[in-house]
A and B are shown apart, each in its own frame.
Chain A
Amino acid sequence: MKKKQIIIALFLIVLVLLYVVVMRSSGKEEVSGKTSVGPSEEAVLPQENVPVRKLEPDNPQDYGMIVFAPQDKPDNQVEWDKVIKETIGKIKSGTPNASWQAAQETIKEDPAKTKDKVKDLDKRIEEYETALRKNSDNAFLRKRIERLKILRSLAEELAPAAVSR
C-alpha cells in the first residue's frame, strides 16, 4: 500500500514538473516575441546603408587613358599631333561606322572655313608663345597654348582635307 502511494506521489510530481516546464517555455517565447521581431533589431539608430566597397586604383590603360608624367608631356605641335592621331584612331576604330559618320556630319563645314580657323589657331599659338617667353611663369597662358595645340591636332584629324601644313 505504501509503495502504491509513493508511485502515485512520484507520478504527480512528474506531472507538475512537466506542467511547469511547458508553461515556462511558452511564457519565454511570448516575452522574447516582444523584443525580437525580425532579425535586425538593435538598440541603436541605424547608420546609413551605403555599401562600403574597397577602392583599388585602376590601370589607366584599361580605359584607354593616356597618362603623361610631367617630363613626358608633349610640348610641341608634332608630339601633340602624334598623340591625338593615335587617340582619334582608337575612337574611330571603337565606334560603329554609322555613329562616326553622324559625328563627322555634325561637325562638317566648308574646308575653307576650317582652314581659316586653323590659321587663326596658329596665329594665337605664336602670339601666346611670344608672350610666354616674356613671362614664363604664366601658367594660364601655358595651359592655353597646350589646349590650342590639341585643338589644332584635332582639326587635322577630324578635317584632314582642310588642314595643310
Chain B
Amino acid sequence: MKIDRLLEGGFAAIACAATFLAFAGMAWGADASATVAETRRPEGARIVDSIVPCARGGAIVVGSLADPKSFNPLMASETNTTEITHRIFDNLVELDCANLDYLPGLAESWDVSADELRWTFRLRRGIEWADGAPFSADDVLFTFRAIYDSTTQSPERDGVSLDGVPFRVTKQGDSTIVIETHKPFGPMLHALATGAAIIPEHAWGPALANGEFASSLGIDTPAEHVFGTGPFRLEKREPGRTVLVRNDRFWKFDGAGTRLPYADRIIVVAVGNQETWRLKFDAREIDVCSIKPDEANAAIAESRAKGFTVVDLGPRLGTIHFALNQKPGKNEKGEPYVDPKKLSWFRDLRFRQAVSRAIDRETIVRTAYGGHGVPIYGPISPADKRWYNAAIPTHGYDPEGARELLAAIGMRDTNGDGILEDGGGNRIAFTLETNTGNSVRMQVAQLIVADLAAVGIAVTLSFVDFNTLHENVRHTNRFEACMFSSSSSGDPASAMNYWLASGSSRDFHLRPQGPVTGWERQADSLATASLMTSNFAERKRLFDRVQVLFAENLGFIYVANDNIFAAYWNRFENVRLGRVRGFHEFLWNEDEIGVLRAP
C-alpha cells in the first residue's frame, strides 16, 4: 500500500544518503604521498650520533584534545595547534625538552657581544624548505617582520620584544642574522627556542604584504602549502585527524648517514577528553598517553605484561598554590574587595604562616597523588633543576606551631565550637574558590579544608568553572581565597606576569594602587635585573633571591606538586619523553624515533 511504500522509501532514502556520504568521505581521502627524490646531504646538516640508528618507515599515532585551529605557528595560541606546528616548522634554537637544554636549530651556532646587546646567529648552509626552495637569512627577516607587523597581531610579538620594543633584526650576508636589543635581554635563547618559528617567505610573503597574514595558513590551506624546514609536513587534515608526512629534505642525519626522520608519518587524532584518550591508548589505537598520578601504580603494574612503558617524569614544572586576597580598598561601586576584618587577617604574615604550617603536605601527596609527588614551599618547582633554589625556607606539618601563631595574633576559640574567633568576636572563616574539571586538584582543596579545620579555621570550598573563577579573581578581584596552578615553559622570564607586582597572575594582590613596597619591591627589582643579562649564573643568583622572598612572605601558599607520568607502547626506539613546550603527549623528538613494528 501507499503508506508502506512511502515509509520504506523514506528509510531507503536515508540508507542511500548514508552510504553516499560514507563514499563521499572516502573520496576526500585519496592518498597524496608524493615521494620527493632524495636530495643530497646539505653542507649545514646536523649529525645526530647520540641515537640508535633505525630503519625508516612506520607511523606514530599521537593524541590531542581537539583539532588544530590553524597551521600558522606565529598565530597559534593553544597547544592543539602548536602540537602540530612544532613538527612542521623549526626555530633558530632548539629546546631539548628532556634536559631543558638549548641546542642548535636553524642557527648552527651563535655568540653574544660583551655588552650583551648584539647576538650573532650563523644559519645552516645549503638546507632547503620542504618544497625545494633554498632557506636563507631573508626567511628569518621575513618571520620577524610578520611577527612585528601591525596588521598581524601575533601573540608571539611580546615574547621577542623588550619593554614593548621589537628587536632589531638584520642580516649579514645570506647566512648570518644579527639581533640587537636596546638593553641586555637574558632569556634570548629561550625566546627563540619557544617562539619565532621560521616560516618561508616565498610562500607567505604576498599574504603579509596584503595584510592577510593573520588568517593565512588556516586549516583550509591546501596541504601542499603547509610546510617548513621541520621533520614533517602536512599531508592531510580532516575533522578529527591530521596526518603529517616525512619531509624528505629535513636537515638532520643519524650517525649511519640516514636522513631523519625515521617515521614516515605522524598521525594526530583529536580525542575530545582525557578518558577517551586513555581508553584509545589501552586499545593500542594511540601510542602515547599521560597517566594520572593516582592511576600510575596500576598502570605500572600492568605495563610489563601488556607491553608498554610508563615513565615518571618527576614533579610538574609549574606549581599548585593558593592565595589569600590582600587587596585593600574598594571597587568603583564602593564594595570592598575583601571584607576589612578578613583583609586584616590575610595581610598578617603570621596568619599566612599559620595556614601554611597547618597543611599536611605529605598526606596530600599520599592520598591525592597516590604517593607520587612532592611538597612544595616556593614558586619554582623542584623539578626545574636549572632554576630551583633548594635553600628556600621550608617547614614540616606543624599544627601546634600554627595554633601558637594564631593565638599570638589574638585568635582564640572563645565559644568552644572548635572554630577560632578574633579579638572582635568574628569567626575565622573564609571561602576558597577553585575550578572544577580537575578531580585531583579538587581533592587537594578538600584536604586543605580538613587541615585548616583542625587548627580552628573554617574554610568553605567553592567549585566554579574556570571562566567564572577567572572572572571573580582576575577581573573583579572580589574573592577571599583562590587556588590555581601555574605552568612553566622552563625559564622564569617567560612568566613575568607572575614575578612582577603589576603582573596579571598575582592573585594575592592584583592591580596594586600606588608604588609597591617591602618584599614585593625587592622581588620586582631582582626579577627585572635578571632579564638584563644572559649570564645564567647571574640570572640564577638573582632568581634564587626572588624564590626566597616568595617563600618567606607567602603571598602564594604553595601546596604540593604531583608527578607527571606518561606511557608509550614498546614499539619504538629512541623515545625520550619531555614535558614542556605545549605537547600534550610528551613526545617531542619524534624526528629521532624509529618505529620497530606495527601496533
A complexed with B: no
B residues apposed to A, CB below 8 Å: none
